[in-house]
Amino acid sequence: MAVQPRFCGHCGAQVPPDAPYCGRCGAPQAPLVVATPAAYAYPSATPRRRTGIGRISGAQIAVAAGLLIVLSIVTVGLSAFAVSQVIGTRKPCTSNCGAKIVTPLPAPATYKSSAFGFEVDYDPGWTVRSQDSQGIILATKLGLLQVTGTKSGQPLQDLMQATVSALPSSTWQDVLHVTDLKGAHIGDQDGIGAVYSANLIQTNAKAAKVRLFVIAATKGGVNVVIFGVNPSDAKDFPNGIPEGQEFDALCQEFQWRSS
C-alpha cells in the first residue's frame, strides 16, 4: 500500500515519512498515522430451514420397499387381468354383437289356503295334482309333496303318526323310521319331523325303494303337516332324499297367515 507524502505544518516543506523534525525549519513533526481500513464483516447467513427428509432410517426404507413390492404385484395383476379380458380365448364378435337378453328365472308358483290363510311357494316345474281350501298335492320332478292344514288341538307327534299310518299298506310296505329331523320347521315356526324308508309298490307290481319325510308345526290355531317322498338315494343325498334342498326351500318360504 503507497504511503501518503508528509509536509511540515510550520513552513510547508516536504518532510520524510519517519522524520521527527522538519529539515528546513526544525519544527517537530507528529508521527504519521496510517489508517488501516477496517475489515468488512459479512453478516452470518441465516440457517436455511431443512425441507428434505434428512437421514432415512432403515425402518422407513423397509416400509417403502414393501409398498413398492405391493404396488408392483397389484399392477402386474391388474395388467394381466386386463390383457386376459381383451385377448381371452373367445372369438371376436363380427355380427349381431348387441347385448344378449338373458331369460330370468321363473318366479315360484304360489298356493294359498282359503281356510287357514297360509301360503306355499313351490317350483313352477311341479304339477298340481289336487288342491282345495285346506291344502295342495304336488307332483315334483322325482316324487310327490303334500301340504295340509287343520285346526290345532291334536299334538304334533300324533299328527305325524297319523300321516304315516294313513298310507295304504297295499302300496306302502315296510315303512321304517330312519331318523328324526333336527331343527325341523315350517316357515318361521319350529316343529318336529322324521324321515322314513319304505318299499313303494308300483302299477307293474314291482317295489321301489323310497324315502319319505313328515314335518308338522302349529301356529295361530292352525296345524300344518308337510309330507314328501322321493326315490331313495342314501349314497349321494342327505337322508336319502334327492330333492331335499327343494323341499327345504319350500319350508323356508312357507308363510303363515299374518295376524
- 223: domain range? 110-167+181-194+214-253
**pLDDT values of the chain reduced to their tens digit, one per residue, 259 residues:** 555 677 777 777 777 777 777 777 777 776 655 554 444 444 544 555 544 434 444 544 444 444 434 333 333 333 333 333 333 444 555 555 555 555 555 568 999 999 999 999 999 999 999 999 999 999 999 999 999 999 988 899 999 999 999 999 999 999 999 999 999 999 999 999 999 999 999 888 899 999 999 999 999 999 999 999 999 999 999 899 999 999 999 999 999 998 6
In a domain? residue 221: yes
Residue for cell digits 298340481? 128
In a domain? residue 145: yes
List the beta strands (DSSP E) in 152-256: 172-180, 185-186, 189-190, 192-201, 207-219, 222-231
In a domain? residue 134: yes
> What is the reported pTM?
0.59
Residue 167 is which amino acid? L
In a domain? residue 136: yes
Cell numbers that stand for 53 in this block: 427428509
In a domain? residue 19: no
Q: What DSSP string describes 127-171?
A: EEEEE-SSEEEEE-SSSEEEEEEEES-S-HHHHHHHHHHTS-TTT
CATH, residue 246 = 3.40.1000
SS3 187: coil
Distance between CA 259 and CA 257 in Å, rounded?
A: 6
Distance between CA 67 and CA 21 in Å, rounded?
A: 90
Distance between CA 106 and CA 125 in Å, rounded?
A: 9
SS3 6: strand
Name the domain count of the chain: 1
Distance between CA 128 and CA 137 in Å, rounded?
A: 6
In a domain? residue 230: yes
